[in-house]
Structure 1
Amino acid sequence: MTSSSSSSPKISDVSYISEFVSKYQKGMEMSFVIDGKPRVCEFNQKMGSVAILLFHKERNQFLLVRQFRPAIFTSHIANLPENHGKEFSDIEWTSYDTEVGFTIELCAGLIDKDGLTPREIASEEISEECGYRVDSDDLIHIVTFIVGAHQSGNSQHLFYAEIDETMKISEGGGNILDGEVITKVFYSLEDAMRIARPGRGEHAEVKGPPGVIFAFQWWFFILDPTKKGLIARPPTDYEWKPYNPKPIHSIEFSTDFDKKKYGFNPKRMTFTMNGITRNWDLALCPNTTTCILVDMAKKHLVLLQKMRAPVFIGRSRAMPENTGKSLEEIQFWKYDANMAYTLELVVNRVPDYEDPRKFVRIAVKQLGYDLPEDSFHLQAKCIPGIGQSGDTQFIYTADVSKARVCEKEEDEDVEEIRIPFNDLASLYKQHLVGPPNTYYAIGFVLDQVLDRDVL
């Protein structure tokens, strides 16, 4: 990995406020009726996004970006033992190394430009952040994920592009008017491979979102026909459709709600770095642990179908006919109930300072599979909420065919879905199936479980 800068700038004049109006997030209480039952949940109105995996052909390296993420800095420092229970105003923020808040990410940006398609926005982001001109028509669309399924239900469009020095138009660095300070980082094929396929007994650790892990996995085992992986397994005619979807109706939103009820605790951070004073809006979330569950005896990947009301809203908002409309103007009743459903990995929150393996075991046991803690193997560690939530996620793997069957915790919004290994290549090609780690799990099984039998 090579970067034009390795030093971390100092941070000063750090302060936080809780009462503010943000164009980047708007927390609401959402009420609705499903299957005749009134329900209430949290909804955080956010923007969709794009991300681009860039490969520099002349250097034979991937181009990523390094930047400071206030949410990660804040989450990490606030959760240190010496700061546990403190008010933000009592924490000595400037005494900490800002390096904890820097990430390595794909070139990316918000869908916040009216009249531009995700492809066009992606093209602009490559120019602004990395300094290369890539025509929007030359971008390869890899997949569209669901992100923030539990809160916002937004989508992220992931693209791929190849670049060389003839396409260079500037040094990049981001939009100065927005206060962006972005450094380009080049990853060798060897460094990227260690993330896409860590060695036995090792795990991938990315100081960035799960999309980085997935993108490298895609490049090595799908794009390149000389490698074994998904490319060697032609898709079947399998297509996932939600089992027994229930229409959502009578949808209403309110901004007058008890934020502590959901743990929604927004903050606006003000700070100075690199001589620039900026504001950044946060909505911190706890760390989580998740697990890629396989049944090696039956050759199944075990996923969870979840009813996600925020996803229904997020996907409806993303419809072209709803561009620029407020939530109150959207006719949600006319959209397919299937849009509310996702396929996800089992997940659990991890309290501060606790072992994530302990809590992934608890989550799996609630599904009816009792496995000892040493059955869970850490596969990857990443940061899903780089922009606003700052949370870390631990991704484990486990074989449920070795589990003792135990009592299952019933949840009417969750259905276990088993997908045969042979059908996974087809599922991989579907958009909006779930979050990035769902697609990563599919690729993990097809590459590492089938080819290398790592479990």
Structure 2
Amino acid sequence: MDQINNIEVVPCTNSNYLKPFRVHYNQNGTKKSWDFMRTHDSVSVLIFNTTSHCFVLVKQFRPAVYMCEWERTKPQPHETAEKADEGAAEAAGPESQEGPTVPEEKNSPPQPPASAGVTYELCAGLVDKPDLSLEEIARQEVLEECGYDVPASKLRRITSYRSGVGVTGAKQTMFYAEVSDDNCVGEGGGEPQEGELIEVVKVPLHEAMTFAYDESIPKTMGVIFSFIWFHNNMSPKYKISTNV
């Protein structure tokens, strides 16, 4: 289990991955403004192992997910104010004519476990190498994260779509790759020098749709969509129920 500690949230003044902007524009005569992030496009790959009839996913700690979960457990401002008023009224007693006083701030909620920030995802990566095609970038990610060496020509393009349209609007292109145990040339896990700590996870084909719709399993929309795509397009080929 990952150990997460010494958390410090600070302003982001410079980043190689995200750049915040505010755009002003007129829409049908109405002046509007919108805040957005400029970021890289990305690729993702649905990997299916034909030897073991399972999907190959990655599992990793995501700080953004973790912080959202932590923020969700914190009392909202109106809740804090109500508790402060209640505490002050109890301390003053029924005969006091003085207004409520705000008690000292109580300790914040306990830090969530690291598992609160762990998600199941498709193998994926940023499109940040202009000299490589999307297929070549996807091939590199499959090798680095999951340990399978798949020729770029064997990657099947599923579709592309916009993700985070309210904030980033970046495009992700999804591929499908069939691998076998013979293609496995390493353990995967990502690039340690880049700070990646990735666990390779296998989901049996017959459990795929149950996995996709289980809300207790934190996962990306890419996992759900790609499993549905496989069920609609590839399941008859393998004549195995995807347990819908």
Q: Classify 1:91/1:109 alpha carbon distance in 2 versus 1 (closer, same or farther; 3 Å).
A: farther
Displacement after TM superposition at 1:33 (Å) = 3.2
Q: Is 1:221 aligned with 2:237? A: no
Give CA-to-partner distance per residue, 1:282-311, whole Å, 9 cap, x none: xxxxxxxxxxxxxxxxxxxxxxxxxxxxxx
Q: TM-score, with normalisation over the residues of structure 2?
A: 0.79
Tell me the SS of whatever aligns to 1:214: helix
- C-alpha distance in 1, partners of 2:188/2:168? 30
Q: Is 1:136 aligned with 2:152? A: yes
Tell me the SS of whatever aligns to 1:31: strand
Pairs within 5 Å for 1:318-397: none
Task: Give the unaligned 5+ runs of structure 2.
Answer: 81-106
Q: Classify 1:13/1:92 alpha carbon distance in 2 versus 1 (closer, same or farther; 3 Å).
A: farther
Q: Is 1:164 aligned with 2:172? A: no
Q: Is 1:18 aligned with 2:11? A: yes
Displacement after TM superposition at 1:19 (Å) = 4.1
- C-alpha distance in 2, partners of 1:49/1:150? 17
Q: Is 1:109 aligned with 2:148? A: no
Q: Is the 8 A contact 2:73 2:109 kept in 1?
A: no
Q: How many residue pairs end up in the alignment?
A: 212
Query: Which structure has the highest strand share of the two?
Result: 1
- C-alpha distance in 2, partners of 1:41/1:96? 32
Tell me the equivalent position of 2:201: 185
Q: Classify 1:227/1:169 alpha carbon distance in 2 versus 1 (closer, same or farther; 3 Å).
A: closer
Tell me the SS of whatever aligns to 2:182: helix
Tell me the equivalent position of 1:71: 64
Q: Classify 1:226/1:165 alpha carbon distance in 2 versus 1 (closer, same or farther; 3 Å).
A: closer
Q: Which amino acid aligns with 1:72?
A: V
Q: Classify 1:226/1:170 alpha carbon distance in 2 versus 1 (closer, same or farther; 3 Å).
A: closer
Q: Which amino acid aligns with 2:148?
A: Y
Give CA-to-partner distance per residue, 1:14-49, whole Å, 9 cap, x none: 111014211211111101234454332122111111
Task: Give the unaligned 5+ runs of structure 1.
Answer: 1-7, 229-447, 449-455
- C-alpha distance in 2, partners of 1:184/1:227? 23
Give CA-to-partner distance per residue, 1:177-213, whole Å, 9 cap, x none: 11101111000122202145x6xxxx65541111111
Taking only aligned residues, the RMSD between alpha carbons, in angstroms, comes to 2.4
Q: Is the 8 A contact 2:164 2:170 kept in 1?
A: yes
- C-alpha distance in 2, partners of 1:166/1:211? 26
Q: Is the 8 A contact 1:221 1:227 kept in 2?
A: no
Q: Classify 1:142/1:205 alpha carbon distance in 2 versus 1 (closer, same or farther; 3 Å).
A: farther
- C-alpha distance in 2, partners of 1:134/1:227? 20
Tell me the equivalent position of 2:163: 147
Larger RCO (alpha carbons 8 Å, 6+ apart):
2
Runs of 4+ in 1 over 4 A off after TM superposition: 83-86, 90-93, 203-206
Displacement after TM superposition at 1:153 (Å) = 1.3
Aligned residue among 207, 211, 217 for 2:218: 207
Give CA-to-partner distance per residue, 1:231-283, whole Å, 9 cap, x none: xxxxxxxxxxxxxxxxxxxxxxxxxxxxxxxxxxxxxxxxxxxxxxxxxxxxx
- C-alpha distance in 2, partners of 1:117/1:36? 41
- C-alpha distance in 2, partners of 1:84/1:37? 33
- C-alpha distance in 2, partners of 1:96/1:32? 41
- C-alpha distance in 1, partners of 2:15/2:76? 27
Q: Classify 1:214/1:114 alpha carbon distance in 2 versus 1 (closer, same or farther; 3 Å).
A: same
Displacement after TM superposition at 1:84 (Å) = 4.2
Tell me the equivalent position of 2:137: 121
Q: Is the 8 A contact 1:51 1:108 kept in 2?
A: yes
Displacement after TM superposition at 1:114 (Å) = 2.6
Q: Is the 8 A contact 1:29 1:40 kept in 2?
A: yes
- C-alpha distance in 2, partners of 1:145/1:42? 21
Q: Which amino acid aligns with 1:75?
A: C
Q: Is the 8 A contact 1:78 1:84 kept in 2?
A: no
- C-alpha distance in 1, partners of 2:233/2:186? 31
Q: Bigger radius of gyration, 1 or 2?
A: 2
